């Protein structure tokens, strides 16, 4: 089972919004590298939910509830969307600063390419982040 990370500006759509909605269409991705990752997402894959601009932290875990389909917001039909549902909020947010400070995450895709809005998370990186969410 693959792990992923998506970014969202909480001003626009926060993890709390996802919990309130129960599920959401993850559309609007207009970047080929990010779209490639969207296409690779499988039903049931878990997704770290990161707040960009404000918060700057992973705040929750979501799950892919529908695999890639044509993005309804894309008139050119070149890009895809998935559907996400909330799993749970992290006990404590894992901040960008903390992730940067953790050598285990040095190779993490989102850190290496900060503008990538959808990125893969390796199993060991996933475990490290969840550990950080538990530890002080």
Partner DNA sequence: GCCAACGTTGGC
75 interacts with DNA by CB under 7 A: no
33 interacts with DNA by CB under 7 A: yes
Q: Of 14 and 52, which CB lies nearer to DNA in the complex structure?
A: 52
Task: Give the count of beta carbons closer than 10 Å to the beta carbon of residue 38.
Answer: 24
Q: Which one, of 15, 123, 19, 36, lies nearest residue 82 by Cα? A: 36
- What letter does residue 45 receive in the DSSP assignment? -
97 interacts with DNA by CB under 7 A: yes
Give the footprint of DNA on residues 106-135 (CB under 7 A): 112-117
The alpha carbon of residue 85 and the mean position of all alpha carbons in its chain are separated, in whole angstroms, by 12
Residues that bind DNA (CB under 7 A): 7, 9, 30-33, 52-53, 56, 96-97, 100, 112-117
């Amino acid at each position: 089972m693959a792990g992923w990370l998506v970014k969202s500006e909480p001003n626009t759509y926060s993890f709390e919004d996802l919990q309130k909605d129960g599920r959401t269409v993850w559309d609007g991705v207009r970047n080929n590298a990010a779209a490639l990752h969207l296409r690779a997402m499988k039903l049931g894959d878990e997704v770290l939910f990161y707040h960009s601009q404000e918060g700057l932290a992973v705040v929750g875990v979501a799950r892919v509830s529908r695999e890639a389909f044509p993005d309804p917001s894309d008139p050119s039909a070149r890009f895809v969307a998935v559907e996400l549902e909330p799993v749970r909020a992290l006990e404590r947010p894992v901040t960008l600063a903390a992730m940067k400070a953790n050598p285990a995450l040095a190779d993490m895709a989102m850190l290496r390419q900060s503008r990538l809005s959808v990125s893969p998370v390796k199993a060991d990186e996933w475990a490290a982040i969840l550990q950080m969410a538990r530890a002080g």
